[in-house]
Chains A and B, each alone.
Chain A
Amino acid sequence: MSTLHTVNKSPFERNSLDSCLSVAAEGATVLLIEDAVGGALQNTAVASTVSDAMGKGVKFAVLGEDLRARGLSAERVIDGISVVDYAGFVQLACDHDNVQNWL
């Protein structure tokens, strides 16, 4: 059983990314959308948290449209995090057995 988790709140304001990572298991994917896209960037206060989770087998993706809407370049995204569009979001939902939206 694998789960797609979506997080939509900034990890610099809220703790939903931490809550999500406390239960995300190996094989899960965490998709960062809306205000959470900042969590996918290099050299931030949460970058090591994200990298640690990746080391434990949790995959990460970020919604490219929401990065661009905030003027953030995909070049600043942590290595290993895939940048997806809405079709990619739909595909991730298909590829996992469950979807958990952290609001």
Chain B
Amino acid sequence: MKFAIQVNEGPFTHQASDTAYQFTKAALENGHEIFRVFFYHDGVNNGTYFGVPPIDDRNVQQQWSELAEKHDLDLVVCVAAAQRRGIMDEDESKRHGKGTSNIAPGFRISGLGQLIEAGIQADRLLVFGD
């Protein structure tokens, strides 16, 4: 089965980032396909490379990046939600004159069309959030 995942919450709000990650991991382990994970609203905070949680805390960004590398996942961060929260790739950073980028490995910045496409292409769309 082909799943699309939408994440609306950051790693340090409630539990949605963890649930979304665990669901995605379980789906992959059971032979399903993840068409795309789309990070929207505060969910874009999953995609910053500059988060440094204490060593004994889980690092959700790192977990996503590692899962993406292992399974060639498409992790998409909403551009408008990301700009508001200071999450940028090199192009966006240059465009806004910020001088540095912080998008985490395995994540890419794109628009809402990616969510709509995921909803159309996937058999099931699951939304995790607040």
Contacts and interface: CB of A to CB of B under 8 A. Distances in A.
Contacts of A28: none
Interface string B100-130: 0000000000000000000000001111111
Interface in A83-99: 85-87, 89-91, 93-94, 98-99
Interface residues of A, number: 19
B124 A98 contact: yes
A8 B19 contact: yes
B61 interface: no
Interface in A15-57: 33-35
B4 to A, nearest CB: 10
A1 interface: no
A8 B125 CA distance: 16
Nearest to B14: A34
B22 A35 contact: no
